A = this chain, B = another copy of it.
Amino acid sequence: MLGRNYGQGYLLTRNIAQKENIPKKFLEQILLELKHARFVNSKQGVGGGYYLIKKPKDISVADVYRLFDGAIALVPCVSLNFYEKCDDCKNEKECLLHDEFIKIREGARVVMSKTTIQSFLQHDKKRKK
């Protein structure tokens, strides 16, 4: 909804909640998190609400996934954005899993980065025809 409404003013939490069938209070928290991550902005008071700051084509599924679910990698030791050293594994260079898990991360990362809010909206448009 925020994507479809891009550049067209404020959307009320109440309206999004109703239309998308999400508990209002729950949605508020999600929107707040999106605001802190600078994907959306908001205004309080009468005539306020939320709107998308970034262009739909500049918000990827990877971005949103990282915000709410964290690392795309299956193990922290091959994560780009959430790297952590393994506890069990003694040395990363010698680990036989490491390089293959990087390939898997790349498979997931690439497709999740290519897919954006814009992708969803384009798809939506095609359906409507």
Residues of A within 8 A of B (CB): 20-22, 61, 65, 74, 88, 90, 94, 96-97, 99-100, 103-104, 106-108, 110-112, 115, 119-121, 123-124, 127
Give the dominant DSSP class at A's interface: helix
From B107, B120, B123, contact of A112 by CB (8 A): B107
Copies of the protein in its oligomer: 2
With contact pairs A65-B74, A107-B107 given, residues A96 and B112 touching in the complex (Cβ less than 8 Å): no
- Residues in chain B near residue A103, CB distance under 8 A: 111, 115
- Residues in chain B near residue A107, CB distance under 8 A: 107-108, 110-112
With contact pairs A74-B65, A107-B112 given, residues A88 and B22 touching in the complex (Cβ less than 8 Å): yes
With contact pairs A20-B88, A21-B88, A88-B22 given, residues A123 and B96 touching in the complex (Cβ less than 8 Å): yes
Bound-state CA distance A107–B115 (Å) is 11
- Residues in chain B near residue A88, CB distance under 8 A: 20-22
Bound-state CA distance A73–B110 (Å) is 15
